[in-house]
Amino acid sequence: MRKKIVAGNWKMNKNLQEGIALATELNDILKADKPNCDVVICTPFIHLASVAGIIDQSVIGLGAENCADKASGAYTGEVSAEMVKSTGAGYVILGHSERRAYYGETAEILKEKINLALANGLKVIFCIGEVLEERESGKQNEVVEAQLAGSLFDLTAEQFANIILAYEPVWAIGTGKTATAEQAEEMHAFIRGVIAGKFGAEAAENVSILYGGSCKPSNAKEIFSKENVDGGLIGGAALKAADFKGIIDAWK
């Protein structure tokens, strides 16, 4: 049975003290009321080591929001997958639309990042999704399939077992405009079919596919109720413990 997951993406929010406070609050809340799903928080790099020391990772997993496409060396300002792993983190988000759009991350660059993340024992939350114009011209399936093929199709089935997918229609991210549960289900079923075609039925059945884009306590239950939706990647609503908990409780 594939895992149900609610993952938070803090993006570039919270200074270190605020991040520690949020992680502490979440840890206390979730230890007192155990979730029915895997919970992961993905934080800025500088928070990772401190947060790793605070949370009980049997209740909350920890991840980064990015890692370098190089293993080590003279790459000023970059943070490697090995460094992320050494903080105690177990996950990394790769391919987020903000990284693709603002930092020029191509399918090729993402391939390097994925390889390094997997080689260092990190699970990858790989984001895919179309922009509004692509949706309006009916190209969303084509776009998402190309994103999957461009960065994941050289993996072995064994490597692919450490990939979590996150479908995030770009027009729904931070806009307050969610995809309908039907739109999410339709795309998730399509994605599972693409994965089945490449990696086989078992891999497709086992891969968790999260929905992301303006997910909140009030809409999570409906979206998560769909057969092919295995949880969410949460931005804005992951910044308040009560909201994030409300989404986690959608699995109860």
Considering the complex, state which of residue 4 and residue 213 has its C-beta at the smaller distance from ligand PGA.
213
Q: What is the 3-state secondary structure (H, E, C) of 89-148?
A: CCEEEECCHHHHHHCCCCHHHHHHHHHHHHHCCCEEEEEECCCHHHHHCCCHHHHHHHHH
Among 65, 69, 130, 168, binds ligand PGA (CB under 6 A): 168
Nearest to ligand PGA of 179, 203 (CB atom): 179
Closest alpha carbon to 61 in 124, 115, 14: 124
User: Which entry of 47, 96, 98, 134 is annotated as an active-site residue?
Assistant: 96
Q: How many residues bind ligand PGA (CB under 6 A)?
A: 13
Binding part of the chain for ligand PGA, among 13-21, 74-82, 110-118, 213-221 by CB under 6 A, reads 213-221
For the stretch 131-143, what's the b/e string if a residue is b when 16 or more beta carbons lie within 10 angstroms of its beta carbon?
beebbeeeebbeb
Per CB under 6 A, does 231 bind ligand PGA? no
Q: What sign for the dihedral angle of Cα 75, 80, 86, 87?
A: positive
| 194 is an interface residue for ligand PGA by CB under 6 A | no
**Is-contact 190 148, C-beta < 8 A?**
no
Q: Taking CB under 6 A as the rule, does residue 234 contact ligand PGA?
A: yes
Shortest-Cβ-distance residue relative to ligand PGA: 235
> Among 27, 151, 214, 219, which residue sits at the site for ligand PGA (rule: CB under 6 A)?
214
What number of CA atoms fall less than 13 Å from residue 36's CA on the CB side?
Answer: 11
Among 5, 9, 167, 187, binds ligand PGA (CB under 6 A): 9
Binding site for ligand PGA (CB under 6 A): 9, 168, 173-174, 212-215, 233-237
Known catalytic residues are 96, 168
